[in-house]
Amino acid sequence: MASINKKKLADSVIDEIKRMIKSGELKEGDKLPNQNAFAAQLGVSRTSLREALSTLTRIGVIEQRPGYGTVFRSRIPALFTDHLAPPLISDKQATIELIEARRFIEIGAVELSVKNSSPEQINEMGLLIKEMTRSLKEGRIDDYIEQDIAFHFLIAKGSHNRFLVNLFVNIRGFMEQYMRESFRLLPWMLERSLKFHQNICQAIKGGNRSKAVFQMKKHILDIQRAIQHYYRDQEQKARKK
């Protein structure tokens, strides 16, 4: 088993497990190594490994069996879908489709999250908001983006719907790529992004389903308007040349 490259580490762990499944190293019913040994083999921290295993548990790829360990259950087809080719911002249609997908997935996820999130998950959302606020204040944009993705992933997990989590997992990498490109091109979006996240978190914490849905919808539509304005500006500049 090769040590994985350091991109988004939790995603890299998932990629390595996918490789093991494809190569036949991992078969249905097989037990995974214990977390200490597995993290060492992959060259990642236990935190990154646990995040990846949590994702795979949610979508039904693996199962945690008390007193026995982690068992590979089945290869979910969505885990092996072909990826879109980067970069994303330069592909107008792909970017629009991503935002549309987010709108349908995340509005549904936040509605269920208000109903189903555990107190521990709601507390974790609040901690992430504090971390995002601190990261933005200190200009640590890469950290902010990772925390932003983690916040949205936690909402999906809070829905307690494995199919919604699966859908989110499939667009997660594209979301991160889009954020890195869009915040570099449109840095003024960062403050607006944080405010929407604060409002969404407050609504979930207060159990206010309609407010949470409204704020998530506003957040996604704000992203959509910003990127449409960016594309219009680029097209106008191109016509003037």
Question: Quick one: pLDDT at residue 8?
Answer: 64
User: Are the beta carbons of 212 and 114 closer than 8 angstroms?
Assistant: yes
Architecture (CATH level 2) of domain 9-78: Orthogonal Bundle (1.10)
Exposed / middle / buried, residue 2 (Cβ in 10 Å: 0-12, 13-18, 19+):
exposed
Domain ranges of the chain: 9-78, 84-240
Q: How far is CA 224 from CA 35, 50, 58, 88, in A?
A: 40, 33, 29, 14
Question: Quick one: pLDDT at residue 213?
Answer: 97
Question: Quick one: pLDDT at residue 228?
Answer: 92
Question: Quick one: pLDDT at residue 65?
Answer: 81
pLDDT tens, position by position, 168-226: 988 887 888 889 889 988 999 999 999 999 999 999 999 999 999 999 999 999 999 99
CA distance 26 to 16: 11
Q: How many CB atoms lie within 10 A of CB 58?
A: 22
Q: What is the pTM of this model?
A: 0.67
**Residue % of the chain over a pLDDT of 90:** 49
Question: Quick one: pLDDT at residue 92?
Answer: 87
Question: Quick one: pLDDT at residue 205?
Answer: 96
Q: Which residue has the tokens 């090769």?
A: 2
* Residue ranges of the chain with per-residue pLDDT less than 50: 1-7, 82-86
CA distance 22 to 17: 9
Phi and psi, residue 8, nearest 5°: -80, 110
Q: Which fold has domain 84-240?
A: Four Helix Bundle (Hemerythrin (Met), subunit A) (1.20.120)
Closest CA to 181 of 142, 221, 135, 216: 142
Length of the chain: 241
